[in-house]
Structure 1
Amino acid sequence: MDAARSTKPFARFEWKIAFAYLRARREEGGVSVMTWISLIGITLAVAALIITLAVRTGFRSEFVDTILGSNAHVTLYSSLYVTEDGKTSRAIADYDDWATKLAAVPGVTRAAPLVRGQVMASYGGTNAGVEIYGMAYDDLLTIPRVAEHPEEHWGDISRFQEGIAIGSGVARELGVTVGDKIKLISPNGAKTAFGTSPRVSSFEVVYVFTAGRYDIDKTRAYLPFAEAQKFFNRQGAADEIEVMVSHPEEVDDMAIPLLQAVGERGMVWTWRDASGSFLRALDIEDNVMFVILSVLVLIAAMNIVSGLIMLVKNKGRDIGILRTVGLTEASVLRVFFICGAITGVLGTLFGVLLGALFATYIDQVMSFVNWLNGGGAWDPSIRGIYALPAELRAVDVAKAVTLSLGLSFVVTIFPARRAARMNPVEALRYE
């Protein structure tokens, strides 16, 4: 008995007894149906948690990437001022000077003058609202999702100076392809004695791109800077300066240096100002989903308690015998703790594997779901991006594993303590 009391915790014989109980058939007092239910429950709960975290991370990463890859990180505007002829304006006449000063700010990778306006695009009797971005060819080449690595593209971007580049959604809505000529119609055209007449110009489609964002592909078009100035009556001026920075996530720290570079007329608008509320909503939703799925993991882990209670009840005679031959309360507790912990570990391991497989093959899974629904399971016009992304990160897997194992180990202690405190005399009285 003294030897038993001096045995180190989790000795080999404790593991052997625990495995013997787990391997025993149910009629011999072994693993109950509840244990299998808890194993499956933990597996599914952990898998659901990992899948949810992976999808939410992937969605946020894809959303941010399409924003940063298609839009300016920071946009500089001019405040309202009075021109020499007494009119109020926000146009930036000294745009080259602004661009030079902004490009000199540490952390800025590009500063590009931009002319921007909304027009009606027409082809073969079909019309579509289009947002025109007028910029220089060299500046267009630096936009990742448009020129450097778009999801898809057609035509030759080197011919940009000869025509217009449009999003694939615009091309699809108008029914045009590379080589077709589309008309751009602006209500703010030439001023005549009879009023302002609409301006209509034709441009050859030389490049079609897919940026990966539904709203961008459906409305975005690029014109050469000089052509856009002429079309929108912005001769000698720009509407804004697009600025790209080396660390977009730290763009808030760049606001003051950029404003100081252009002077008191400058106004700044960052990508976080445009999409910050949506990203904050995503963060809140991530936290809420983690809490909800943590409760699901807890419910699954609580099934371990039921399984262990049934196992303790079936093994009452064995516990009495083990106690009479010198096994301590601590050893009995550890035996049944091992039984419950193994269920939690196996369930967590299987859950990680299932969740990782689901996240890895998310495209195939969504294709199957889309087939079951007859199409339309993922609507890009609502969600902004074209597919459900999933990004499996080690930190998310670690959070799920820690939560599952922690809950499994904690809930296992209570039925294990009950077994350890069982009176061996009472356990053997009716045997």
Structure 2
Amino acid sequence: MASETTLTPARTRPFSFFEWMVARRYLAATKSGKGVSLISIIAFAGIMLAVAALISVMSIMQGFRLTLLDQLLGVNGHAHVLHADDTPVDNYDAIARALTQVEGVRDATPLIELPVFASANGETGMVVRGVRRDDILRNRYVTGADHVVTGSFENFGIGEKGGTEIALGSRIASQLGVRVGDPITLISGQGPETAFGRTLRRKTYTLGAVFHVGNAEYDAIYGYMPLEQAQLFFGFDDDTVQMIEVFVENPEQIKSYREPLMSVAPDTRIRDWQQRFQSYFNALQIERFAMRLVLFLIVIVATLNIITGLIMLVKDKTGDIAVLRTMGATQGSVMRIFVLSGALIGVLGTIAGIMLGSLFVLNIDAIENGLSAIFRTDLFPAEVYFLDGVPAKLELKEVTLIAGFSLFMSLITTLYPAWRAARLDPVEALRYE
């Protein structure tokens, strides 16, 4: 009896070179399927632009948040220690020393901060911050070499009662039309009480320095005078101030400092930066979340183009699929070929989008300046956005999240067309070839 040998087609290893080769060739243009290649290009471009847009927008929004936070916490303290009844804080030197002994506290600064009316060649309202000489010299956002526009702080706080030199933000100086050395008259409603109400306090100072924080709101509002002059001008006693400004090592965890600060400063209340700017940063956080959601939907729409391309590819390659099946290719092998075809579009589009988005973020200032020059208009006015330039912060965590989501959606959208290709009956397919 003759022995019979059963021949079974050799199965290819999953994701073998054969499957990769066929998948790559299926993405190329063919005589009968040029439209498929065009759709693949459109899908690739859509994913690339969606990923680039998502990276760019989220980096700019994160840059806005970090820059504003840095400026807010650089000019303003992280917390303010005030009396519970809002009366002046006395014995402030001893309290400030005690506050600096709290673990994590970097500095404690006696402060008087009140609104005044300034008059010179022009007139404007502003806020004067009375600080000690040593304290303001430590604030790099005001006295740093790259923030002092004209003049200097060399004579700030020097002289009888701290001298008569003050410093103004660059926009205040511009509104008043003054330069270093010019006189400026300050008017306050914190004068002595009379039978007819409070009288006005008026005093003329000399402009000693003009600073530029980089935040249009601060540069148009804040001015500084020596603490001794602020006590005299606003009617505080020599040993009292309005509040004590506290700077800590980790501003994001300011809530954890509240109890230790209150323990060394009894009969006081703490107003931290999160309370002061809570609504502002909550709005930024909500806007960032909403923008991320909208842009993720754009990525989803872009990846859906892969489904269209693969479905047309399956229809175009019906005969080829049937031949592969009759030659021994399994359903799993056919499915993997079309999954790879779609995944290649997603992977290449995501990589190109990351490169494009990163280049845009890293060169955003040059791009903004170039577009402003071309259109002859300021595309990023500081009066509207409060910042001198477009801030952008490229974060690896954000890029990884975006890339992962894009690749995941690219994979998901390939499954249905690949499943249809795998279930194709080779006999029915070849019957009409």
Shared fold (TM-score greater than 0.5)? yes
Find the aligned partners of 1:26 and 1:164 in 2 and give their Cα distance: 79
2:81 is the counterpart of 1:76: yes
- Residue identity in the other structure for 1:400: I
Find the aligned partners of 1:2 and 1:405 in 2 and give their Cα distance: 36
Matched with 2:390 is 388
Contact (CA 8 Å) 1:150, 1:211: kept in 2 or not?
Answer: no
Displacement after TM superposition at 1:72 (Å) = 0.7
2:18 is the counterpart of 1:13: yes
2:32 is the counterpart of 1:27: yes
Matched with 2:150 is 154
Matched with 1:85 is none
Counterpart secondary structure, 1:158: coil
2:108 is the counterpart of 1:111: yes
- Residue identity in the other structure for 2:352: F
- Residue identity in the other structure for 2:58: L
Contact (CA 8 Å) 1:29, 1:311: kept in 2 or not?
Answer: no
- The one-character-per-residue Cα deviations of 1:145-186 (angstroms, maximum 9, x if unpaired) are 112365453211122124001111111111112222211112
2:7 is the counterpart of 1:4: no
Matched with 2:399 is 397
Counterpart secondary structure, 2:10: helix
Contact (CA 8 Å) 1:54, 1:391: kept in 2 or not?
Answer: yes
Calculate percent identity across the aligned residue pairs: 38
2:120 is the counterpart of 1:123: yes
- Residue identity in the other structure for 1:242: E
Query: For residues 180 and 325 of structure 1, do their structure 2 counterparts lie closer, same or farther at Cα, with a shift above 3 Å needed?
Result: same
TM-score by length of 1: 0.92
- Please point out which of 40, 46, 51 is paired with 2:45: 40
- Residue identity in the other structure for 1:37: I
Find the aligned partners of 1:154 and 1:428 in 2 and give their Cα distance: 84
Matched with 2:54 is 49
Displacement after TM superposition at 1:34 (Å) = 1.5
- Residue identity in the other structure for 1:62: T
TM-score by length of 2: 0.92
Q: CA RMSD in A?
A: 1.9
Matched with 1:249 is 252
Find the aligned partners of 1:195 and 1:286 in 2 and give their Cα distance: 48
Displacement after TM superposition at 1:193 (Å) = 8.2
Contact (CA 8 Å) 2:27, 2:37: kept in 1 or not?
Answer: no
Matched with 1:326 is 328
Matched with 2:136 is 140
2:235 is the counterpart of 1:238: no
Within-5 A mapping of 1:303-342: 303-342=305-344
- Residue identity in the other structure for 1:98: I
Displacement after TM superposition at 1:381 (Å) = 3.1
Find the aligned partners of 2:306 and 2:33 in 1 and give their Cα distance: 19
Find the aligned partners of 2:290 and 2:390 in 1 and give their Cα distance: 20
- Residue identity in the other structure for 1:48: A
Query: For residues 206 and 26 of structure 1, do their structure 2 counterparts lie closer, same or farther at Cα, with a shift above 3 Å needed?
Result: farther
- Unpaired segments ≥5 residues, structure 1: 81-88
Find the aligned partners of 1:90 and 1:157 in 2 and give their Cα distance: 31
Query: For residues 192 and 10 of structure 1, do their structure 2 counterparts lie closer, same or farther at Cα, with a shift above 3 Å needed?
Result: closer
Find the aligned partners of 2:303 and 2:196 in 1 and give their Cα distance: 79
2:95 is the counterpart of 1:98: yes
Contact (CA 8 Å) 2:169, 2:223: kept in 1 or not?
Answer: yes
- Please point out which of 216, 220, 223 is paired with 1:221: 223
Find the aligned partners of 1:41 and 1:195 in 2 and give their Cα distance: 69
- The one-character-per-residue Cα deviations of 1:282-319 (angstroms, maximum 9, x if unpaired) are 22222221111111111111111111111111111111
Find the aligned partners of 2:233 and 2:147 in 1 and give their Cα distance: 30
- Please point out which of 58, 76, 90 is paired with 2:63: 58
Displacement after TM superposition at 1:376 (Å) = 4.3
Matched with 2:160 is none
Contact (CA 8 Å) 1:259, 1:268: kept in 2 or not?
Answer: yes
Contact (CA 8 Å) 2:186, 2:204: kept in 1 or not?
Answer: yes
Choose 369-378 or 242-251, whichever is displaced more: 369-378
The number of residues matched between the two structures is: 420
Displacement after TM superposition at 1:144 (Å) = 2.9
Displacement after TM superposition at 1:142 (Å) = 2.0
Find the aligned partners of 2:41 and 2:196 in 1 and give their Cα distance: 84
Counterpart secondary structure, 2:392: coil
- The one-character-per-residue Cα deviations of 1:313-340 (angstroms, maximum 9, x if unpaired) are 1111111111111111111111111111
Find the aligned partners of 1:272 and 1:24 in 2 and give their Cα distance: 58
Matched with 2:171 is 169
Displacement after TM superposition at 1:369 (Å) = 4.2
- Please point out which of 400, 403, 422 is paired with 1:420: 422
Query: For residues 283 and 191 of structure 1, do their structure 2 counterparts lie closer, same or farther at Cα, with a shift above 3 Å needed?
Result: closer
